[in-house]
């Protein structure tokens, strides 16, 4: 009977990410995909050796064809990784991009939406 050893990224994310088991598992799966892509591109196996440019590259190059919601999920996972490594305050400005919103702001620019007009008016004093 063989047991599969957890990867470094799995250990890092499991320790750093509180919450429901399904949410942690989703972060771990995305983290493993990020780790695999970074290892293929740069040959870096340890998340502790990553720099902000590696996560930037992944978010720009590898998530370009994904839906906005999926890109947002990968950005959140990159944020968890950066926080677990102790770099989030420094890396966060460099990880901003079109992936920081779960979906486009509206159906199309100039389309009506939001709160109905009659509810948006302030009450008379």
Interval 85-111: pLDDT, tens: 999 999 999 999 988 887 655 555 555
Count each helix (H run) and each strand (E run) in the chain, helices first: 6, 0
Helices 68-84 and 8-16, packing angle to 10 deg: 90
Q: Is the model more confident about 103 or about 61? A: 61
> Could you give the CA distance from residue 28 to residue 32 in angstroms, rounded to a whole number?
6
Q: How far is residue 30 from each of residues 59, 67, 79, 117, measured CA to CA in Å? A: 12, 15, 12, 42
Q: Whole-structure pTM over 0.85, yes or no?
A: no
Half-sphere exposure of 17 (CA within 13 A, CB side): 24
Question: What is residue 124's DSSP assignment?
Answer: P
pLDDT score at 20: 82
Query: What are the tens digits of pLDDT across the range 1-51?
Result: 556 678 889 888 888 777 788 888 999 999 999 999 999 999 999 999 999
Residue 39: how many CA atoms within 13 Å on its side-chain side?
Answer: 13
Query: What band does 125 get if pLDDT is binned at 50, 70 and 90?
Result: low
């Amino acid at each position: 009977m063989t047991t599969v050893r957890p990867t470094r990224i799995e250990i890092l994310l499991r320790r750093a990410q509180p919450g429901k088991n399904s949410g942690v598992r989703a972060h771990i799966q995305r983290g493993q995909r990020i780790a695999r892509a970074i290892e293929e591109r740069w040959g870096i196996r340890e998340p502790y050796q990553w720099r902000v440019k590696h996560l930037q590259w992944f978010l720009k190059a590898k998530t370009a064809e994904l839906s906005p919601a999926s890109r947002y999920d990968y950005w959140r996972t990159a944020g968890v990784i950066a926080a677990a490594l102790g770099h989030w305050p420094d890396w966060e400005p460099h990880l901003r991009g079109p992936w920081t919103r779960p979906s486009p702001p509206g159906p199309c620019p100039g389309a009506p939406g939001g709160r109905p007009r009659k509810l948006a008016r302030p009450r008379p004093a």
